[in-house]
Amino acid sequence: GAGVSQTPSNKVTEKGKYVELRCDPISGHTALYWYRQSLGQGPEFLIYFQGTGAADDSGLPNDRFFAVRPEGSVSTLKIQRTERGDSAVYLCASSKDPVNYEQYFGPGTRLTVT
């Protein structure tokens, strides 16, 4: 079946601009996660949705970052006033059940801020 998809695959933006990254989870998966992976590092947690609500946003680095999941399926990660330090691969994952089931990851969006 279809896996987690993310668009765009690559995004280049100028410092100070606003960007939106989209994630389509696996159908029927209620839990959705956003992670950020910098070069040479493991993914770092940003935010977790259970259904439409953000159950845990403790990983968001500051208030320039925001994410929504209005209908409990597709999610959008929004970054305002981008900075060069935001450059990374942004990964989305979904799972059938947040406790006992594994997370399935999308291919990621590579964000480059110039």
Partner 1 sequence: AQSVAQPEDQVNVAEGNPLTVKCTYSVSGNPYLFWYVQYPNRGLQFLLKYITGDNLVKGSYGFEAEFNKSQTSFHLKKPSALVSDSALYFCAVRGVQTGANNLFFGTGTRLTVIP
**By CB under 8 A, which span of 15-23, 61-69, 75-83, 104-112 interacts with partner 1?**
104-112
Q: 65, 88 in Cβ contact below 8 A?
A: no
Contact at 8 Å (CB) between 91 and 105?
Answer: yes
Measured from the CB atom, the residue of 18 and 101 that comes closer to partner 1 is 101
Of 69, 94, 98, 113, the one binding partner 1 by CB under 8 A: 98
Binding of partner 1 at residue 108 (CB under 8 A)? yes
Q: Measured from the CB of residue 21, what is the shortest distance to partner 1 in angstroms?
A: 14
CA distance 48 to 98: 9
Cis peptide before 25 (omega within 30 of 0): no
1: DSSP letter:
-
Query: For 84, phi and psi rounded to 5 degrees?
Result: -60, -30
Q: Which is nearer to partner 1, 14 or 100 (CB)?
A: 100
Binders of partner 1 among 9-68, rule CB under 8 A? Answer: 31, 33, 35, 40-45, 48, 55-56, 58-59
Dihedral sign, Cα of residue 18, residue 74, residue 68, residue 42: negative
Contacting residues toward partner 1, per CB under 8 A: 3-4, 31, 33, 35, 40-45, 48, 55-56, 58-59, 91, 93, 95, 98-100, 102-108
